């Protein structure tokens, strides 16, 4: 069985690649990073290290690379032969990936193919499919299940370029009804209704992480585990997660007790001393994280509209507006837009906030 995975980065190698390998797939990674692609082709394998006391290591073998900029023919072959295509490139890159995939779908045989976007966004596979449909309508026999992926894999530098250190926990949830074919993946949970799982993950793990990153930076911390030693950071994190719990328990069947237990496990993951995760990585892509459907604004808008408590999320929005990382191009974009439009118009057009909420955020700035 053959899989083609776009994005040979942290999640690609440390999570998706490992699961696919464990399921007997040979995995071809497609990426623009020539160094990584060359290393994959030279070594044909890499090692995944589990970040815990006496953590195990796992060899991921039978891997190869395709350079999406220079290897058109190899990319076409990989798409034609694939039983499964996955991505972990960043949701903003999906339109670019769609352009690489679409023209190569014609000519596939009748064997089942599933295409899955593994990004931190709600229904990212739908986004990818809509982009592919802009270039082709030959999608017969292709499944497009949405999915939710959860495993913390920090940016890292290892002696071997391909090796990757990951936290022990992982969860990959896939929409059952849209999966084509009988061959299911082990290590993956298939569900009828994915939305509650995606939102629970996005508005707990990712909103929580954003709270640590954006508030932790204001206190001078550099990494998540460092920031989590500070009582004020942990208290703020819990306030934020109590508010997203209100959102989640109001919209889905999760009980408060279930959500509190989920939160407790996630806070323990954030405290993992064997992982060094930069606050700058966790806060990256600030325009995306300030957008209306993402981890801060979606629960905030709902809670405010329903007169539910949302002070901590309001404060978090203010920290996100002040987050400073000169290496994040979206920080520059945010600042340019705020300078051009003014804060009021920026939050109205980009984050879809009403005047009352904007006023409350301004009180924290």
Q: Count residues contacting ligand F6P (CB under 6 A)?
A: 9
The answer to the question of whether 14 is labelled as a binding residue is: yes
Q: What are phi and psi of 165, to 5 degrees?
A: -105, 130
The answer to the question of whether 44 is labelled as a binding residue is: no
The answer to the question of whether 4 is labelled as a binding residue is: yes
State yes or no: residue 223 binds ligand F6P (CB under 6 A).
no
Comparing CA positions, the residue from 127, 129, 173, 125 lying closest to residue 145 is 125
User: What is the CB-side half-sphere exposure of residue 33 using CA atoms within 13 A?
Assistant: 14
State yes or no: residue 298 binds ligand F6P (CB under 6 A).
no
Interface residues with ligand NAI (CB under 6 A)? 6-12, 30-33, 68, 88-91, 93, 96-97, 119-120, 149, 151-153
Find the part of the chain contacting ligand F6P (CB under 6 A) among 162-170, 202-210, 312-320, 329-337.
202-210
Query: In the β-sheet with 84-87, what is the strand arrangement from edge to edge?
Result: 63-67, 26-31, 2-6, 84-87, 113-117, 142-143
The answer to the question of whether 10 is labelled as a binding residue is: yes
DSSP secondary structure of 239-283: HHHHHHHHHHHHHSS--HHHHHHHHHHHHHHHT-TT---BHHHHT
Question: What token pair was written down for 307?
Answer: 């007169």
Q: How many angstroms separate the CA atoms of 12 and 65, rounded?
A: 12
Find the part of the chain contacting ligand F6P (CB under 6 A) among 62-70, 128-136, 179-187, 277-285.
277-285
Beta bridge partners of 1: none
State yes or no: residue 120 binds ligand F6P (CB under 6 A).
yes
| Minimum CB–partner distance for residue 284 and ligand F6P (Å) | 5
Distance of CA 228 to the CA centre of its chain: 21
> Which one of ligand F6P, ligand NAI, none interacts with residue 88, CB within 5 to 8 A by kind?
ligand NAI
For ligand NAI, which is the closer residue by CB, 76 or 362? 76
Residues annotated within a binding site: 3-14
Residues annotated within a binding site for NAD(+): 3-14
Q: Which residues bind ligand F6P (CB under 6 A)?
A: 120, 150, 152, 205-206, 209, 282, 284-285
């Amino acid at each position: 069985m053959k899989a083609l995975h776009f994005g040979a980065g942290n999640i690609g190698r440390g999570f998706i690649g490992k699961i696919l390998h464990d399921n007997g797939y040979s995995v071809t990674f497609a990426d623009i990073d020539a160094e990584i692609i060359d290393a994959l082709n030279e070594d044909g394998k890499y090692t995944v290290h589990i970040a815990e006391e006496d953590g195990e290591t796992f060899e991921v073998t039978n891997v190869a690379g395709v350079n999406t900029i220079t290897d058109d023919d190899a990319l076409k072959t990989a798409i034609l032969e694939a039983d499964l295509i996955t991505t972990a490139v960043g949701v903003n890159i999906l339109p670019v990936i769609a352009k690489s995939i679409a023209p190569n779908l014609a000519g596939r045989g009748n064997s089942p193919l599933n295409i899955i976007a593994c990004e931190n966004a709600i229904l990212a596979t739908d986004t990818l499919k809509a982009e592919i449909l802009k270039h082709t309508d030959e999608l017969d026999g292709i499944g497009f299940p949405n999915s939710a992926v959860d495993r913390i894999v920090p940016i890292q530098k290892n002696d071997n370029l391909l090796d990757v250190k990951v936290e022990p926990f992982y969860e990959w949830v896939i929409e059952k009804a849209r999966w084509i074919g009988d061959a299911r993946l082990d290590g993956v949970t298939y569900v009828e209704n994915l939305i509650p799982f995606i939102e629970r993950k996005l508005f707990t793990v990712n909103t929580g992480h954003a709270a640590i990153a954006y508030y932790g930076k204001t206190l001078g911390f550099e990494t998540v585990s460092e920031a989590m030693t500070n009582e004020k950071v942990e208290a703020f994190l819990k306030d934020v997660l109590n508010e997203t719990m209100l959102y989640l328990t109001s919209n889905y069947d999760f009980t408060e007790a279930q959500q509190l237990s989920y939160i407790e496990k996630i806070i323990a993951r954030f405290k993992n001393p064997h992982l060094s995760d930069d606050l700058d990585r966790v806060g990256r892509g600030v325009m995306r994280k300030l957008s209306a459907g993402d981890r801060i604004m979606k629960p905030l808008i709902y809670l405010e509209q329903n007169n539910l408590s949302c002070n901590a999320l309001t404060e978090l929005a203010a920290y996100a507006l002040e987050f400073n990382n000169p290496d994040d191009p979206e920080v520059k974009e945010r600042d340019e837009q705020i300078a051009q439009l003014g804060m009021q118009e920026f939050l109205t057009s980009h984050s879809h906030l009403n005047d009352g909420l904007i006023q409350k955020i301004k009180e924290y700035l």
